[in-house]
Amino acid sequence: MQAQPINFQAPSEEAASILLPVTSTLFADRAARFASLAEGSSLGDWLAFLGQLSRAQQNALPLASTVVLPTPEQLALAREHAMPPLDPGIRPAEWRAVLRQLVGELATITPLPPSNVAQALAALQATDDERLEALAEQLLSGEPSVADAAQLPFVAAALQVVYTRLASLLDTASVQKLDYHNVCPCCGSPAVASVVRLGSAINNLRYLHCSLCNSEWNVPRAVCTSCDSDKEVALQELGGSNDPKVQAVRGETCDSCKSYLKIVYQEKDPLVDPVADDLATLALDVLLDEAGYQRAGPNLLLIGAHQG
């Protein structure tokens, strides 16, 4: 692992503070990225399966087409009190239909998924609505049961579909960034990673990427997203690799609060995906954990997914 100072260059144009997800391509692009990352990786089988899961998410999006935003009065109230307009604690019923379609599609893929994954899919197929809601509460509370860990990535995938659809319907004029950098202004979930983007108005800007609804919001670089410190922030990277896919991902660490979050660079690889590239670089997580840093935000597709 190598450390280097942060080289920050301010953008020359005013940029959007919030980027809403584009549902027509988001999950399909992520599926393609997972497939690319799987090639030659020691995690190849797992990453390839997650690509199939992402493709199933894209296929399930029509089931989320009936979700509706909170009322104008509720949206105004959320803005008045500086709260996210979408509440994962009040979930549209469509997420359960999405889950069942995901599970059904994944159960028929070839080659067959690993035995522990197949068991989790079979268990979810037999689970009633009340139990599914209990699993969702586990996931979103950040206190998952070890016994349910293998099922939770699929619950997460279904919730991502529904909340990504909801976020895409928002008007950015009605959404405001929150006081806490690491909290999504659309749904209040923590960021999974950040991405330094390419583009005329957003070139070289860092956007945090929501772990649930896939929205993004601009946060200044060289600032810790957990404690706002700008004095003890550094970038850590895996050494010894010339693979641009590896070089496109670094860990942004803070010695003030001993936290870290991955950061991916479109300049290094225009096809990077904050969710997929995060999971393809678990070796960096191991090194940062051994160095005493604690991850600041979850990847909801990770819980139990690579076990067994």
Chain segment 85-96, per-residue pLDDT in tens: 999 999 999 999
**How far apart (Å, rounded) are the C-alpha atoms in residues 208 and 12?**
20
pLDDT at residue 14 in the model: 67
Domain boundaries, the chain: 2-17+178-295, 21-174
Mean pLDDT, the chain, integer: 90
The two domains 2-17+178-295 and 21-174 share their CATH topology (first three levels equal)? yes
Residue 196 near residue 267 (C-beta atoms within 8 A): yes
Q: Is the pLDDT of residue 7 over 70?
A: no
Confidence at residue 248, expressed as pLDDT on a 0 to 100 scale: 92
Cβ atoms of residues 158 and 95 within 8 Å:
yes
The answer to whether the beta carbons of residues 79 and 86 sit under 8 Å apart is no
User: Which of 36-45, 174-183, 259-268 shows the lowest mean pLDDT across its residues?
Assistant: 174-183
- Residue 307: pLDDT band with limits 50, 70, 90: very low
| CATH of 2-17+178-295 among 3.40.50.300, 3.30.1490.20, 3.90.1670.10, 1.10.730.10 | 3.90.1670.10
Q: Taking the domain 21-174, which CATH number applies?
A: 3.90.1670.10
Query: For the residues 50-73, what does the mean pLDDT come to?
Result: 97
Are 181 and 228 in contact by the 8 Å Cβ rule? The answer is: yes
Residue 12: its pLDDT value, please? 42
Highest mean pLDDT among 9-23, 102-116, 161-175 belongs to: 161-175
In the chain, what percentage of residues exceed pLDDT 90? 76
Instruction: With cut-offs at 50, 70 and 90, classify the pLDDT of residue 6.
Output: very low
Give me the amino acid identity at 279.
L
Q: What angle do CA 161, 167, 171 make, to 5 degrees?
A: 160
- Other beta carbons within 10 angstroms of residue 298's beta carbon come to 18
Going by the DSSP 8-state scheme, the letter that residue 26 receives in this structure is H
Q: Residue 264: what pLDDT? A: 96
Where do the DSSP E strands lie in 185-258? 191-196, 206-210, 216-218, 233-237, 249-254
pTM of the full predicted structure?
0.91
Q: Which long-range contacts (CB under 8 A, 24 or more apart) does 202-206 make?
A: 202/11, 202/15, 202/16, 202/19, 203/11, 204/9, 204/11, 204/267, 205/11, 205/15, 206/263
HSE toward the beta carbon, residue 175, CA cutoff 13 A: 28
What tens digit of pLDDT does each residue of 276-299 get? 999 999 999 999 999 999 999 999
